[in-house]
Amino acid sequence: MAQPRKTSAATDADEETRSTLVSVRDLLARSVMLTRERIRETLDDAVTRGRITRDDAEDLVDRLVAVGRAQTEDAIARLEAIAGAPGRGTGKARVAVRRPPGTDRVLREVDKVRRSAGLGSPFPISGYDDLTAAQVIARLGELEPADLRLVHDHEKRNANRKSVLSAIEKKLR
């Protein structure tokens, strides 16, 4: 069966989506994930050894964390704009099947980073409404019980997929 030809606007949107994903992927590949606690431990050790003053160490921790949060929020915003996360973004790639290869893996990593950095989110799984049941079930193991209940409620009110609901209920037991 012949595939419908894409319009120039659709092709441009696909190219823009791919370009944004590549830039986010590159940002994540160049990034280093450290917790505030690990940074603080390292600088506390430097203070103990007399290599840096306590005030300088505190300033450095604050600056490093601020820069890290800004970069994380930027990556999350870009990915949510592409994925069309619930209540956010433009949804440039609304259908999971049409996402470029690796997008789901990138979104999963972004979700992990967001949770470990303590950044709030309106929903625990980015691009949830565009994921297949199998993709959602694969992500459930990463969630805390409170997030599982949030996903359960959302799923029940919207797609109401039995496989997803039963997987969530099994995790909550």
pLDDT band at residue 2 using 50, 70 and 90 as cut-offs:
low
Average pLDDT over residues 151-160: 90
Q: Which amino acid is at 75?
A: A
Domain residue limits at 69:
12-96
75 pLDDT above the threshold of 60? yes
pLDDT band at residue 22 using 50, 70 and 90 as cut-offs:
confident
The answer to the question of residue 36 being in a domain is yes
Residues 32-61: tens digit of each pLDDT: 777 778 888 888 888 898 888 988 888 888
CA separation (Å) from 157 to 60, 89, 133, 152, 166?
46, 21, 15, 9, 15
Q: Are 142 and 111 in contact (CB under 8 A)?
A: yes
Q: Are 83 and 130 in contact (CB under 8 A)?
A: yes
The answer to the question of residue 147 being in a domain is no
The answer to the question of residue 172 being in a domain is no
The span from the CA of 131 to the CA of 96, in Å, is: 6
The answer to the question of residue 60 being in a domain is yes
Residues 111-134: tens digit of each pLDDT: 777 776 666 556 788 778 878 888
The answer to the question of residue 112 being in a domain is no
The answer to the question of residue 84 being in a domain is yes
pLDDT of amino acid 99:
53
The answer to the question of residue 113 being in a domain is no
Mean pLDDT of the chain: 76
pLDDT of amino acid 120:
59
Q: Convert the chain into a string of H (helix), E (strand) and C (coil).
A: CCCCCCCHHHHHHHHHHHHHHHHHHHHHHHCCCCCHHHHHHHHHHHHHCCCCCHHHHHHHHHHHHHHHHHHHHHHHHHHHHHHCCCCCCCCCCCCHHHCCCCHHHHHHHHHHHHHHHCCCCCCCCCCHHHCCHHHHHHHHHHCCHHHHHHHHHHHHHCCCCHHHHHHHHHHHC
The answer to the question of residue 168 being in a domain is no
CA separation (Å) from 172 to 14, 79, 132, 147, 169?
38, 28, 21, 10, 5
Please tell me the total count of domains within the chain. 1
The span from the CA of 16 to the CA of 154, in Å, is: 30
